[in-house]
Chains A and B, each alone.
Chain A
Amino acid sequence: MNENDETQGRELVPEPWRELDDTLADGPSPTAVPPEAKAWLADQRFLHGLLRAMHTQDAAAREGRIAAMLARIAGDGAVEPRRHWVTVAVAALLMASFAFWLWLPAALPTASAAVERAVTELARDVARRFRVVGVGVDGKGNEMVRHEFALVTRPGGFFRVTGRLGFGPFQTSALTIGSDGQELWATSANGAFQRAAPLAESERLLQGLGDMLDLGYLDVHALVKKLPTDFELAVVGRERDATGRELLRIAATRKRVDAPIRLRSAWLLCDEKTGMVTKLAADLEFSRGASRQLSIEYLGDEPPGLVEFHRPW
């Protein structure tokens, strides 16, 4: 809360300064700010942070945050005195190995229950951010395509994908593709390419952008929802990620082997606490030995209002 020389406060400021406040816009932030505007901007941002923090207060999340941090620190051990760590580690390993076999079978929930929880969680009306990576290789193992996207999706057919398409050594410039539930649109980063079409005619728009952009992959909710119908599911283990979250690993095997695209293997990780899918990976087999790996990783909820699903022009 910086002292202000003006006694009138900072409600009355030059109009151009208001454009420098990038907390209320989706676009990139300004490259430079005049020195005289910095105090006002810092005050705005200070209050912006306080208000965001105030409205996202959650005691359970706070404890989870601290626990994850302490787990990372425990794993790091930079300052920790190293007393008897070998003994402790061996004892822990023995205990864990022994306890694991006694405890695992009864403790694991069923795969369908876990997937059902994930479907319920994904149906919540919030925007979620994912990282999608698709890699296609030919029969000789040469990488032919690599597409990497940031995907934000919300139930109701809302999604926004930003990323690059890679074909061998070539890579497109950044593209953004979005849908507001009614219309599918695509634009290049520089705005030179802009297309829009009703969602029902999406195939026409997506032609030439590569079949990695199958809309089926972008509707994560629908994708997970149909897993119990199309796949045999089994919980194959429990693991912990880098932040200390307990995750269930679920393997999926396609029921119909005569499907045109053959799923070689697939698995997903579900957060035991929230039920949310944190990662989904699939290995698809094509003719002449070609294959494709698809990975969808959940990065978290997107703050409301920050992602625009309507076409930007």
Chain B
Amino acid sequence: MMMGCLAPANGMGATKVGERAVPWWLRRDNPRPVEPRDLFEILTREHIDSVRAFLLSTLRDNVAAEDVLQETFLVAWRILERYDRKLPFGPWVRGIAAKLVLNYRRKLGRSRVHFCDDEVLSRMDSGFREFATLKGDTFDEKLDALRECLTHLTGPQLDSIRLHYEHGMHCKQIAERLGIGFEAVKKHLQRGRSMLHRCLRSKLPQGDVA
């Protein structure tokens, strides 16, 4: 747990509600109540990366993703009293992000936002829920699983993924670099992502769903 370092010295640890561990600072019997803003900062630090990744999977523009990210947490702060502390915070705040994305799409049109509807957003959120159960305390540590999966890719799939995401090249540029067709690059990227997805799924703890 990322916040383990903040656990009090008296040994009071997390308790379980259903499948979910409730951190000490969220417990109702916590003798040292946390100020709402401090609590919110802790929650923000814990979940900002996953919400950002969720938005980057939906919005084309990095700047728009940053704007919606800020808006998401601002809205979350404003309606924090509606948050049911028995439930995990991540899906709740991603739910807010999803609503803002749908509004953004309605406002700015299809050129700024990838296709999304409730079902696609919900499926993507399931992906992030499961991702949260991967080994590691922080989002970055969980990304190690993806880094490890990348080492299993080979040939043009690996090249396409690296050129596209690491070097920021467009499919057309990758096609020129690799001497293959535009459509072939798209297929390599899509197949590469599918293989990474399968590899990540194989790393999930058995029967553990966040």
Contacts and interface: CB of A to CB of B under 8 A. Distances in A.
Q: Do A and B share a complex?
A: yes
Interface of A: 1-2, 9-11, 13, 18, 20-24, 27-31, 33, 35, 38-57, 62, 65-66, 68-70, 72-74, 76, 78-81, 129, 243, 299-306, 308
A216 to B, nearest CB: 25
A141 B112 CA distance: 36
B164 A65 contact: no
Nearest to B161: A51
A52 B78 contact: no
The 8 closest A-B pairs by CB, nearest first: A304-B168, A49-B57, A300-B63, A42-B123, A305-B170, A53-B53, A46-B127, A28-B110
Given A45-B114, A68-B70, 11 more contacts: A10-B198, A24-B190, A45-B57, A53-B49, A57-B140, A66-B41, A66-B44, A66-B45, A76-B74, A76-B78, A302-B63
Contacts, number: 199
Nearest to A19: B186
A79 B36 contact: yes
22 contacts: A1-B200, A2-B123, A2-B126, A9-B194, A10-B198, A24-B189, A27-B111, A28-B111, A45-B58, A45-B120, A47-B194, A50-B143, A57-B140, A65-B66, A66-B48, A68-B70, A69-B48, A70-B41, A79-B78, A81-B36, A129-B61, A300-B62
Contacts of A42: 119-120, 123-124, 127
Contacts of B49: 53, 62
Given A1-B201, A305-B173, A54 B70 contact: no
B169 interface: yes
Nearest to A70: B41
A301 B168 CA distance: 12
Contact of A56 (B62, B73, B126): B62
B110 to A, nearest CB: 4
A1 B170 CA distance: 26
> Would you call the interface of chain B mostly helix, strand, loop, or mixed?
helix
A46 B197 contact: yes
B110 A31 contact: yes
Nearest to B145: A50
B70 A33 contact: no
A246 B150 CA distance: 39
B61 A1 contact: no
Interface string B6-25: 00000000000000000000
Contacts of A18: 186-187, 190
Q: How large is the interface on B (under 10, 10 to 19, 20 to 34, 35 or more residues)?
A: 35 or more
Nearest to B73: A69
A35 B171 CA distance: 27
B77 interface: yes
B196 interface: yes
A196 to B, nearest CB: 18
A46 B73 contact: no
Nearest to B121: A42
Contact of A2 (B80, B127, B161, B173): B127
B86 interface: no
B55 interface: yes
B190 A29 contact: no
